[in-house]
Amino acid sequence: MNTIEQYSRAVQECMDVFKKKTSDYGTSWRVYRTISIVDQIYIKAKRIRTIQEKQQQKIGDTIASEFKGILNYGIMGLIQLELPPSEGEELSVEQVMSLYEQKVTNAKALMLDKNHDYGEAWREMSQESFVDLILAKLQRIRQILVNEGKTLISEGIDANYYDIINYAVFGLILIEEGKHKM
């Protein structure tokens, strides 16, 4: 299987979970501010890191399920950046899935561009590095929020979310290949 197929399969699994949860809960996540989404991603990344460090866990959710959650919260974050609060909290399943697909299309295009330039270096990276990179991106978003959304030279919040999404996909692909822990 090639990278595009693997990427699409990993994202499809995340999308299926997102759609089912949207059917169950609606778009209750629309009340989240950016910092709340950052904290949700942080909780998931921190749990993976803790499992890696302790080499054990007590809760049944797998590392893969946490990467899926990270990806889905990253998509939520991007949607929240795009839609003003005046748009309303409740979106239809069809509307939110259309937005989800747009964000995934953008993330995949970014991944392809970076793979072109970096030669798929991520395939040789450790799962620990993906988690550390996600945690660093969250710190960057927090600092951008402290700076009231302004940056002098750096990418904005959206670029950091896209990188987080792609790191989560890479983690899922390498788990699926058996190169990383479940």
Tens digits of residue pLDDT in 20-68: 999 999 999 999 999 999 999 999 999 999 999 999 999 989 999 999 9
Q: What is the reported pLDDT for 159?
A: 98
Domain count, the chain: 1
CA distances (Å), origin 99, targets 44, 52, 142, 178: 23, 33, 24, 31
- Domain containing 50 equals 3-176
Q: What is the reported pLDDT for 1?
A: 66
- Would you say residue 152 lies in a domain? yes
Q: What is the reported pLDDT for 181?
A: 78
- What pTM, to 2 d.p., does this model score? 0.96
Amino acid at 73: Y
Task: Report whether pLDDT(6) > 70.
Answer: yes
Q: What is the reported pLDDT for 88?
A: 83
- Would you say residue 46 lies in a domain? yes
- DSSP for 60-77, written as a single string: ---HHHHHHHHHHHHHHH
- Would you say residue 182 lies in a domain? no
Tens digits of residue pLDDT in 90-135: 999 999 999 999 999 999 999 999 999 999 999 999 999 999 999 9
* Sequence-separated (6 or more) residues with CB below 8 Å from residue 46: 135
Q: What is the reported pLDDT for 50?
A: 96
CA 130 to chain centre: 11
- What the block records as the tokens of 35 is 């910092």
- Would you say residue 78 lies in a domain? yes
